[in-house]
Amino acid sequence: YRIAVFASGQGSNFQNLVDWANDGKLGAEIALLVCNKAQAPVVERARKAGIDCLLFDPKAYASRGEYETEIAAELANRGIDLIVLAGYMLLLTPVLVDLYAGRMINIHPSLLPSFPGVNAIGQAWNYGVKVTGVTVHLVDGGMDSGAVIAQQVVHIDEDDSIQSLEDKIHTAESELYPKVVSWFAKGRVHISGRKITVEHGI
Ligand code: GRF
CA distance 132 to 111: 6
Tell me, using a 6 A CB cutoff, whether residue 114 lines ligand 1: no
Ligand 1 centre from 135 Cα, in Å?
12
* Model pTM score: 0.96
CA distance 97 to 198: 22
Please give the pLDDT value at position 202: 58
Average pLDDT over residues 173-193: 98
Please give the pLDDT value at position 190: 98
To the nearest 10 degrees (0 to 180), the angle between helices 162-185 and 12-22 is 40
Please give the pLDDT value at position 182: 98
CA distance 155 to 160: 9
Ligand 1, pocket-test mutation among 30, 107, 112, most atoms within 8 A of CB: 107
36 is in an annotated binding site: no
Atom 5 (ligand 1) nearest CA: 87
So what's the ipTM on this one?
0.93
- Could you say which of 108, 137, 155, 200 is catalytic? 108
DSSP per-residue codes, 152-188: EEEE--TT--HHHHHHHHHHHHHHHHHHHHHHHHTT-
The per-type count for the chain, helices as H runs and strands as E runs, is 6, 9
Atom 6 (ligand 1) nearest CA: 87
For residue 113, is the peptide bond before it cis, meaning its omega torsion is within 30 degrees of 0? yes
Tell me, using a 6 A CB cutoff, whether residue 133 lines ligand 1: no
Tell me: the pLDDT tens digits for 6-19?
999 999 999 999 99
Tell me: the pLDDT tens digits for 109-147?
999 999 999 999 999 999 999 999 999 999 998 999 999
Tell me: the pLDDT tens digits for 73-98?
999 999 999 999 999 999 999 999 99
Active site residue 108: yes
Tell me 91's DSSP state. P
Please report the domains of the chain, with CATH numbers, ordered by start residue: 2-198 (3.40.50.170)
Ligand 1 centre from 202 Cα, in Å?
30
